[in-house]
Chain A
Amino acid sequence: MIVADRKSVSEIRDMIKDHDRVLLVGCGTCVTVCLAGGEREVGILGSALRMALKLIGRGNVVVDECTIERQCEDTFFDTLAPHVAEYDAICSFGCGAGVQALAERFPNMPVYPGLNTQFIGILESQGVWTEKCAGCGKCRLGEFVGICPITRCAKRLLNGPCGGSQDGKCEVRPDLECAWQLIYDRARSLGILNRLEEIAAPHDWSTGLDGGPRKVIREDQCIARLESEG
């Protein structure tokens, strides 16, 4: 899932300083699961924001909240659309994709981010999320026994470990596990250590973000006519 955490109350308060009617829009998908931008968190931030505004003499600002099923799909904005005109700004509690999807759907409405989108990750333990995938567009987890060195090695080494690996920890941070130690240990327990004797080829970064924003197209699923079809 996409993991995010909230911005501070004062940062959001300052972002919306030019507006008198603000709608906080939560998202019911990833950010609900990572306890950053779901119905409950938006309710908390709404309450906090109203109080913070009142304390700086702006108690007249209307701050309302709503949470929609998903912000990264335009269809889900349909229920929201009739009410948006009642406000002069939106603060999205979705990930960065949600913020931009709202901005695209409502071109005349200023849209602000309520969250800092962090990474694609997993729930490590209750209340702790860890980054696992960099979305590089060319998954090589098969080569590395299911542990991604691009995301989890601080140096993104494809032929590790480096000399900074000490007792299974990375030299960058003492609490950071060395991805290459994890890869080695897992390969050994699977009885496939010999696979690591092969030199991993350089990564093809052309599928990464360096080539600009990416697009995935499933032609068989497209209803609208594709440009390539003329």
Chain B
Amino acid sequence: MDTEPLILAFCCHYCAYAAADLAGSMRLEYPENVRVLRLPCTGKIEVNYILAAFERGVDGVIVAGCLEGGCHFIEGNLRARRRVERAKQLLEEIGLEPERLEMYNLSSAEGGRFAEIVTEMSGRLARLGPSPLRQDRIRAEQAIDQIARRAERTPAGETE
């Protein structure tokens, strides 16, 4: 279990989060090593959220927002894409593989696509191997749970 990749998925409330829910309702199977963190919009993501996850030993990060042109807040997902690009550039400078981070776009009706994305990312991370920054998986899991609990206390559409 300790060698399994640990993935943090920042999911938009209006699309990817609902798609993840739908994937569950549809009884679709996908790797259980993903932790879903709901954001009011992917436009809420900041480069430091992504780096904080990697610093705490996460193997990979998914940022999943609405289809381009379909953002509830008009251009949140487009901003997120640019921030993900910047974070990738920083990962390269740090010495971590930028492929550990990916942005995806999907609609709330695409439960199957969500399962596909997680499967794809999980396979990619298995090929890359565990993050050299991860000390032990349990500690990384705890850090993610902590981040997720904090996020859950913040209702969608509001910031802390």
* Chain A positions near chain B (C-beta within 8 angstroms): 8-10, 40, 43-44, 47-48, 50-52, 54-56
- Shortest C-beta distance, A49 to chain B (Å), equals 8
Q: For residues 113 through 160 of chain B, which have their beta carbon under 8 Å from a beta carbon of chain A? A: 132-133
Interface of chain A, helix or strand or loop or mixed?
Answer: helix
Tell yes or no: B51 within 8 A of A by CB: yes
Interface of chain B, helix or strand or loop or mixed?
Answer: helix
Chain A residues contacting B103 (CB-CB under 8 Å) are none
Report if A52-B95 is in contact (Cβ < 8 Å); known contacts: A44-B90, A47-B55.
yes
Q: For residues 48 through 99 of chain B, which have their beta carbon under 8 Å from a beta carbon of chain A? A: 48, 51-52, 54-55, 90, 93-96
Q: Contact: B51 with A47, CB < 8 Å?
A: yes
| Interface size grouping (class) on chain B | 10 to 19
15 interchain pairs (CB within 8 A)?
A: A8-B93, A9-B90, A9-B94, A10-B93, A44-B90, A47-B52, A48-B93, A51-B51, A51-B133, A52-B94, A54-B132, A54-B133, A55-B95, A55-B132, A56-B95
Tell yes or no: B32 within 8 A of A by CB: no
Tell yes or no: B29 within 8 A of A by CB: no
Q: Contact: A48 with B133, CB < 8 Å?
A: no
Chain B residues contacting A8 (CB-CB under 8 Å) are 93
CA distance A206 to B95 in the complex (A): 48
Q: Contact: A44 with B48, CB < 8 Å?
A: yes
- Shortest C-beta distance, B84 to chain A (Å), equals 14
Q: Contact: A51 with B55, CB < 8 Å?
A: yes
Q: Contact: B93 with A50, CB < 8 Å?
A: no
Chain A residues contacting B94 (CB-CB under 8 Å) are 9, 48, 51-52, 55
Further pairs besides A9-B93, A44-B47: 20, Cβ < 8 Å: A10-B93, A40-B46, A44-B51, A44-B90, A47-B48, A47-B52, A47-B55, A48-B90, A48-B94, A50-B55, A51-B54, A51-B55, A51-B94, A51-B133, A52-B93, A52-B94, A52-B95, A54-B132, A55-B95, A55-B96
CA distance A53 to B90 in the complex (A): 14
Looking across the interface, which residue of chain B has its beta carbon closest to that of A53?
B94
Q: Contact: A51 with B96, CB < 8 Å?
A: yes
- Shortest C-beta distance, B42 to chain A (Å), equals 18
- Shortest C-beta distance, A131 to chain B (Å), equals 23
Chain B residues contacting A9 (CB-CB under 8 Å) are 90, 93-94
